[in-house]
Structure 1
Amino acid sequence: MNDIELAFQIDSTVGLIYESAYKARSVYKGSEVQYIRRALEALIINALDEFQEVIGSNLYDNIETLSKSNVLSSDIILLCHQVRQGCNQQLHFTPNANESSSLMVDSTFDIFEKLLCSYHLSLGGKLVDYEKSGLKENALENALKNIYIEEELSSEQMLGVAVYWFEKHRGAREHGTCRVISVGTPFFLESAASLIRQQLRSNDDIFFDASFVLYLALLREPALIEAHHEEIYRLVKSKTDQGNYEFINALIDVTTYTEHLIPESAELNKLAFESGVFLSLQSLVSIYSYYNGFNAKFSDLVPSDTSLARAALLQAVNREDTDYCVLQVYAIDLYRGIAFEQDFKEAFSVLDKLALLNPVVAKETKSLLQGLFESGQVEIKNVKSVIPVVSNTLGRNDICLCGSGKKYKKCCLK
């Protein structure tokens, strides 16, 4: 007989929950803690029912009821409290728990097994050929999806636990691209989101605003954003309906990293821009991308509005906090004549400014534009102001790439 079979002998509910603890533990060590706590609750309720004692709503009080009734030994009561305290520490991430978390998880798991044996023996049972169950591989779907929320957990504690899980288990994307470097640990990210979701049900909580920001950050994690894009939209829309456009960047992330909500995000960002509120550089560049009519990802879903695209990008370019990403987009547009009139000279001027902020990106952008020009992918729309990218292989006496027919030394090299 193994410990799972023992748990089923004591009570079917205890057995089912304890078996789930093993499944969760095989996916991610530590994720079984909340199952262990639920199994403890089921065990205590079974004992109260067995000995016809009053069942309360609080785990601590129920254990104390058993203690006062003297139906179980003090050793078993002590084991019950040790399991309860160990689970609470792990779930709440108290300072002491952080210092020895792995040891505490093992001891809590082992203590509950000892409790099962002790309780079974106290009822007159026997342990014949007893052995502890071995861990088996399980799919992630078998892991726990929702964090157990203890009634006395305060809002501040909820937020603290969720922040801890978010910072420790978050994923990562490559800067400047959409490529996912790491998805983090989905179990803890989902658990943190579930914890905060409970807290957000109370609008008058003093930690509501901080929790709302964290919740949106969690839902935008690489592991969660695809499944939660509609919820992100609902949350952002609830704010914009109140005239608050502070969180529209969350919607931009959805359109950047997935194929969802492109028309909705474009419309909300347009409304924000037209309302005159202060927008982030990311939002301004996104408006440009949505409405310039050039980006294939957006052009089929969003009607082009080049005037809006120009106005948004110019605002970003002229901001004191403008960054190299904005300048890169602006230089490429000027070079290709997407929303602005094609002007190679101005494009190079912007690239010079870009080089002051990020020389590497400036060099890469120049090479990109040069390659596009030499491969015939750049249409010359304004011949009078043409100053193409200088080729590293173009000789002084070669024909200039601008299409004038003159030699390079007498044309754009001047």
Structure 2
Amino acid sequence: MIGRDRPLARQAIPSLCIALLLLCTFTTTYSFVSTTAACNKKLRSHQPTTLSVHCVQNNNSTHVLTRRSSIITSSIAIASSCLFPQLPSSAADIDVVTTTEQQSTAARPSITIPLKYEPKLCAYTVSYVVGDTKFGAIVDTGSPFLVVPQTSCRPDYKWGCYRAEESQPSGLEPTYERFVGNEGMMEWREGKFSFANSIAMVSSFALLFPQSSSMVFGVVSESLLDGSGGLFLGLVKETNSWIRPSFLGQSDVGAFSVDLREREGFDKSLTLYGGSRQPQQKFSNPSYAIPLVRDLNKRFGDATIHYVGVASSLIVNGNNLATSSRRNKIYVIFDTGCTGMSISTSLFNERYSIARERRENNLWGNVELQFNTVSGGMASLNAKKPLTTTLDDRPWGKKLDGHLIVLGLAFLEGHEMTVDIDNDKIWFD
């Protein structure tokens, strides 16, 4: 509630869910830093294109925490938030993440990897193997890279133990990184990559990852990991040519889905699909697919091609806050590496002024974004009380025509999100 001693922008974050504000690693140029968070505990039933998320404590206050706080644009994406789980440090001790093979009806090769939800992170994680060592990472549709931590294999670090002898130099120059107040070098190496030890997935894995015997990955120095302790597996495939190789850029993956639906007998999962080089392997995009645009890369200097849709409108607490026009659009980045929502500073300030004028109890009580679909219909995503933070109005050095919003798990939980990279479309089931 708005009051003289407790303005909306400074409302206290409940202590039940510890908030640690951590910024992703970024280079000294072309960087874009944001902050997002929200821990979402309860879900209401929802229609195929609408999600309601509730974060409720016994005292009716909202669970919130800070996890990922940057959209990577140039070099590496590593981050964490909240408290990281106790993952065993050796390959033998880590729980095996079973990988299964699925073949689509259109003969499109695919691999499905179950996701593990970590309550202390409010995040979904996946295990993968580089060399002969397993690592744990948060599944992140807002960054591009495969990384491992350069740790001393100390007992208190539980995301995997990097061993240099299991890889070789890539021939790429190291990059200099900054991570919040920490600075250090990022080494780029080559090594074997896989998701798990399942024989059943070998045929599809070979088709999707023909370079799996020698994948380029980043080694994150300990100086950069101070204060974070965790990694992200980036699923942004396309970047500018001067960027280091992305994870999916070294594959023949042409689409993927992150299935966060609650279904009895089914795990939440990440599925990677083969590229649509042949007509019979293309998706039959549903009528409610949302077109993806590349304006942020082509016009505003984003060095990675994020998965971005244009929202037709942003509705907060039942009132329209912003509408897209031909000249000023609402650009929305879909990012599983975030948990709440980040928006342009100008839009945040506008909403704050309206809320004060109307004496509203909640600054971001019910948030809905509407999108035009390929068939001319409407799809929407919504969340209740997502923790909302601000973005620079010049995230890549150029002033944005319109507004920028980053949507995290508060809006994506309960859906299967499918990204057709080859055909620039996204849809939610």
Q: Is TM-score (shorter-chain normalized) higher than 0.5?
A: no
TM-score by length of 1: 0.22
Higher helix share: 1
Which structure's relative contact order is higher, taking Cα pairs within 8 Å and 6+ residues apart? Answer: 2
Structure index of larger Rg: 1
- Normalised by the length of structure 2, the TM-score is 0.22
